[in-house]
Amino acid sequence: MPSRSASPSLFPDPPAAASAAAGWITAHCDGGARGNPGPAGFGALVEDAEGHVLAELSEFLGIQTNNVAEYSGLLAVLDFALAHGHCRLRVVSDSELMVKQIQGAYKVKSPGLRPLYEQARGKIAQLEAFAIAHALRHKNKDADRLANQAMDRGMGRGIYQS
């Protein structure tokens, strides 16, 4: 898969000895719902330490809330990392709520999000290292595109477009 051009990182550079050899991968994830709740989907782009695309993940979720879609994107990248033996994961998301909840800065008050939060925390605990950062939507374009494609597929839009 193609390599993307490097942009300023949201994460500090690891020490030289711990860079690419340490096996960090980065996932940009996004979720959305058209209406809230409404037809929802997530998208994620996973890259290795050199910026080579490892996976593009995208799924229609049916009628869900935006926050459920955001957590579904996070869970998908955690599942990808664990299933493919990646033990160091950085996540970038434009969901300030989800990022702050995972970081422990915000409490999870919604009973609908609590199980997703707990699933995510359980998967994070299986990793050797984990970091998550909030980015504005324009820094998360590929994940946003994939989330919109998932919603389009689920709503029967654009299926025959290339």
pLDDT digits (tens, 9 = 90+) for 29-71: 999 999 999 999 999 999 999 999 999 999 999 999 999 999 9
Q: How many domains does the chain divide into? A: 1
Residues 87, 113: Cα–Cα separation, whole Å: 25
Dihedral sign of CA atoms 51, 83, 113, 130 in order: negative
Q: Please check whether residue 54 lies inside any domain of the structure.
A: yes
Domain boundaries, position 59: 22-154
pLDDT digits (tens, 9 = 90+) for 75-101: 999 999 999 999 999 999 999 999 999
Q: Please check whether residue 149 lies inside any domain of the structure.
A: yes
Q: Please check whether residue 17 lies inside any domain of the structure.
A: no
Instruction: Show the DSSP H helices in 23-140 as ranges.
Output: 66-83, 96-103, 114-125
Angle of CA points 78, 108, 152, to nearest 5° = 55
Q: Please check whether residue 99 lies inside any domain of the structure.
A: yes
Residues 72, 98: Cα–Cα separation, whole Å: 11
Domain CATH number, residue 50: 3.30.420.10
Q: Please check whether residue 159 lies inside any domain of the structure.
A: no
Q: Please check whether residue 12 lies inside any domain of the structure.
A: no
Q: How far apart are the first and last CA of the chain?
A: 18
Confidence of residue 138 (pLDDT cuts 50, 70, 90): confident
Q: List the strands of the sheet with 88-93, edge to edge.
A: 53-64, 38-47, 24-33, 88-93, 129-134
